[in-house]
Structure 1
Amino acid sequence: MKLEPLLFMVHRIPYPPNKGDKIRSFNMLRWLSKHYEVHLGCFIDTPEDKQYIDELQKYCASYKVVELKPLQAKIKSLASFIDGSPITLTYFSSKELASWVKQVVDKQSIQRALMFSSSMGPYLEDETYSKLLRVLDLVDVDSDKWHQYAQKANFPMSWIYHRESVKLGAYEKKLTQQYDSIALVSEKEAELFRSMVPDDLKNKVHAVTNGVDSEYFSPESAFQNISLPAKTVVFTGAMDYWANEEAVVWFCKKVWPEVLKIHPDACFYIVGTNPNPGVLALNNGSSVVVTGRVEDVRPYLDGSAAVVAPLRIARGIQNKVLEALSIGKVVVGTTMAFEGIEVEGQELDVLVADDAIDFGNKLANQLTIATEVKAPTLSQKNRKFVTDYYNWDAKLDNLTPLLEGGSASCSNNKMEMNAL
């Protein structure tokens, strides 16, 4: 049976699934390909990812990949300060991609679309697309994330971030009026966004939460073991992302020195792509090691005595935390790091601390336990929690009523009209 065509738009090529947004967009693409004939439009913003374009053939009937050069996009974004638009929209604008959208919608008679992030919203804003059933996955409330950035940054960046928070927040509400359904990565994120929109739009907002590939992130999966110090602590994440950089800098300055007083032979591994100069400066080759890009993060997670998530700026669900739980690691993190993950009421091996001293004490205690065990600790409770509650297919099945027009009466009417 021929599958119905669907337009899927993503701001970054959804392969490989090696960072937060790409993990979600890839798993969405994989899920969509089982239920629809997918026509994918996306950007590619790093030369390294060009080698993966052909991988899209496995999941898409057609695709359009447009190269986005970050420096040129940033320069282009200066126009936002003249026309009053959010920087995000100007950064990801492309006449080439917009032209492809019009062509593929017409040629394939597409009636439904899933847009990933607010930056893709403008591509279906035109009145000519009003008959499509349009679902927007905001993922996170990005306007609130910019608000958090503004609170942490110094002038003039604090002003720029505040402006983006206000402008993007207004645009997110506009998109909620135009689109049939809005998805967010957790129920807490959905609750936050419902509080920001008028009462008559709240029923459009839904939670479609993340899962984790528990077969891949398993202590029993096949990966190459590496030799790590017994008291290894690990952080994983894209290290050109400011929230991650801020987290490890704070951790190294405020928490880690206290841990080293008790465990001078401990070693903190910062594992992730594209470390910024601020992160590279933390590397001393002994108590702090910055790895840069690695082929596989699992050996580092598996060989650690504990995984830390000292995030003080965060939205949505932290994939890094789910992956660590899946591989059976004890996780020490801030309240924000666990936000959106349903840990309340669960008996898990997780430690929550927002104060630097408290964080350091809890981590030091965990390293003491690991020393006594004389082997990397494995938490079966954490692993079972993930396998029971965070299956990707089960989580993404919540997209079905949104894409089939079952979330609101206006969507049902739209699909009936298109069927005539």
Structure 2
Amino acid sequence: MGDQDVDGVRPPRRAWVVAKQLPARTDSGGRQRIRAVIDTYAEVFADVQVVGFDAWDDWREQLPAHVVVHPVEAPQATAPAVLRSSVFAGKWYSGRLRALLAQQVRGRDVVHVDFPQMAVNVPADVRIDVLDMHNVESDLIDRRLRTEHPRARWLVRPEVARFRRFERAVVRRAVRVTACSRRDQEELAAAGVQSLFVPNGVTEPAGRSPQPGTASALFVGAVDYGPNRAGLRWFLDEVWPAVLARTPQARFTAVGRALSDVHPREAGEPAGVAFHSQVPSVDPFYDAADVCVVPLLSGGGTKIKLVEAMSRGRAVVTTSVGLEGLEEYRSAVVVADDPTSFADAVARLLRDPAEAQRLGKVAAEAIAEDFSWRTAMTPLRDLLIGLRDN
């Protein structure tokens, strides 16, 4: 009888959230966003099924009873999946995930897909009600190749083009599309796609500690994400030595997932640098920092780590790419795009704790009201209420 029970009454609608990466202790920006999305679905629907990669048990225990998590082992690309979509989407294929959706999704279920790549796992007869783009991924990949791997770009151009066609087919397949930055909305609109703006937010700190005044700089970011890895390498190689030349007592700490895989290098790292990977909490590191750096040379969407650093009341030095999607906050951060000006900005703030304190306070006040996750998810919450009641 499809979605009708024995009395002919339709049961309440159930929601499925298909996530590329489930939240983890060392949350990246993307993991923070999907956690906020899951929390929003849990507010609206009485039955929420979450399926994705890399869950951790403590996170599931924090969820209400009506949210069920189906963690799936790492994706396993197959030749048919790659041929259907491209290498960039096919690498996220999981036969188990696809089979689970094929067997358990009912006709009236609401299906949310997190990142267009994950649509490679959604059977053709399953409707995608909401597609959260995060970024226009094909554009993001092309920009990363231009800045990080210019020689490789020419070799993989056909795959980028295939992925762009797949991505646009997924966008057309979805009933509603959400984007997290105005720039991505503009990119989608240029392709004839209307989208709903659901911005990024930030997890509000329990409290803001005063800056210690110890000439300490901090980077927070998962370096298994290409733009973070390239930006950190640029900062270590081209910026930090110049900071030390200006401020010999300065110290720099990098914190984030997968740092232990690439740092420190066998060839050695600059002086005054410490690396911490897979930490249980980033709070102590923010507490110990005077200045946060977001040295991105590529990337898309709103940079959650920049918002997070601002919310902690830390002075922030970033690039124009790091500020994309947050241009209205330019007066609350320092923007520098070349190694010399970036080093000048970091060293100046490390030498002047009062100015770093002032800028951190400006940043925290600017972010406080606009970037709570609950506020950011309001457009999605309104959309889901409409879907639930339809």
TM-score interval (norm. to shorter): 0.7 to 0.9
After TM superposition, give the deviation of residue 236 of structure 1 in Å: 0.3
Aligned match for 2:197, one of 199, 204, 207: 207
**Pair 1:118 & 2:116 matched:** yes
TM-score under structure 2 normalisation?
0.86
Aligned match for 2:374, one of 386, 389, 393: 393
After TM superposition, give the deviation of residue 84 of structure 1 in Å: 6.0
Cα gap change, 1:154 to 1:382, in 2 (>3 Å): closer
Structure 1 distance, partners of 2:292, 2:65, is 33
Cα gap change, 1:55 to 1:119, in 2 (>3 Å): farther
Structure 1 residue matching 2:71: 3-state secondary structure: strand
Partner of 1:39: 48
Structure 1 distance, partners of 2:39, 2:81, is 35
> 5+ unaligned residues in a row in structure 2: which ranges?
1-10
CA contact (8 A) 1:7 1:110 kept: no
Partner of 2:288: 303
Partner of 1:19: 28
What letter corresponds to residue 248 of structure 1 in structure 2?
L
How far does the alpha carbon of each residue in 1:116-136 deviate from its partner, in whole angstroms, 9 at most, with x for none?
11122234451x334xx6110
Cα gap change, 1:57 to 1:239, in 2 (>3 Å): same
CA contact (8 A) 2:41 2:384 kept: no
Aligned match for 2:239, one of 255, 265, 270: 255
What letter corresponds to residue 118 of structure 2 in structure 1?
M
Partner of 1:366: 349
Structure 2 distance, partners of 1:88, 1:40, is 26
What letter corresponds to residue 280 of structure 1 in structure 2?
P
Cα gap change, 1:59 to 1:354, in 2 (>3 Å): farther
Partner of 1:412: none
Cα gap change, 1:381 to 1:192, in 2 (>3 Å): same
Partner of 1:6: 15
Structure 1 distance, partners of 2:100, 2:62, is 17
What letter corresponds to residue 97 of structure 1 in structure 2?
L
Structure 2 distance, partners of 1:119, 1:56, is 27
What letter corresponds to residue 324 of structure 1 in structure 2?
A
How far does the alpha carbon of each residue in 1:173-206 deviate from its partner, in whole angstroms, 9 at most, with x for none?
11121111111111222112222x23xxx33x12
After TM superposition, give the deviation of residue 161 of structure 1 in Å: 4.6
Cα gap change, 1:80 to 1:67, in 2 (>3 Å): closer
CA contact (8 A) 1:43 1:68 kept: no
What letter corresponds to residue 272 of structure 1 in structure 2?
G
Cα gap change, 1:240 to 1:15, in 2 (>3 Å): closer
TM-score under structure 1 normalisation?
0.81
> 5+ unaligned residues in a row in structure 1: which ranges?
407-414
What letter corresponds to residue 163 of structure 2 in structure 1?
L
What letter corresponds to residue 18 of structure 2 in structure 1?
M
How far does the alpha carbon of each residue in 1:198-238 deviate from its partner, in whole angstroms, 9 at most, with x for none?
3xxx33x121001112244x3159xxx9xx88111100011
Partner of 1:219: 208
After TM superposition, give the deviation of residue 11 of structure 1 in Å: 1.4
Structure 1 distance, partners of 2:310, 2:270, is 27
Cα gap change, 1:362 to 1:101, in 2 (>3 Å): same
After TM superposition, give the deviation of residue 39 of structure 1 in Å: 3.2
What letter corresponds to residue 36 of structure 2 in structure 1?
N
What letter corresponds to residue 87 of structure 2 in structure 1?
I
Structure 1 distance, partners of 2:256, 2:347, is 24
Aligned residue-pair number: 379
| Structure 1 stretch displaced more, 322-331 or 58-67 | 58-67
Partner of 1:158: 153
After TM superposition, give the deviation of residue 40 of structure 1 in Å: 2.8
After TM superposition, give the deviation of residue 62 of structure 1 in Å: 2.9
Structure 1 distance, partners of 2:271, 2:241, is 13
CA contact (8 A) 1:9 1:114 kept: yes
After TM superposition, give the deviation of residue 280 of structure 1 in Å: 2.0
Aligned match for 2:126, one of 126, 129, 147: 129
What letter corresponds to residue 287 of structure 2 in structure 1?
D
What letter corresponds to residue 388 of structure 1 in structure 2?
E
Partner of 2:162: 167
Partner of 2:384: 403
**Pair 1:293 & 2:299 matched:** no
Structure 1 distance, partners of 2:340, 2:270, is 24
What letter corresponds to residue 397 of structure 1 in structure 2?
T
Cα gap change, 1:394 to 1:54, in 2 (>3 Å): closer
| Structure 1 stretch displaced more, 376-385 or 331-340 | 376-385
Q: Name the % identity.
A: 21
How far does the alpha carbon of each residue in 1:263-291 deviate from its partner, in whole angstroms, 9 at most, with x for none?
01111111112116543228648411112
**Pair 1:140 & 2:145 matched:** no
CA contact (8 A) 1:249 1:279 kept: no
Structure 1 distance, partners of 2:281, 2:268, is 20
How far does the alpha carbon of each residue in 1:329-370 deviate from its partner, in whole angstroms, 9 at most, with x for none?
0100001111112535x642x100111111111111111212
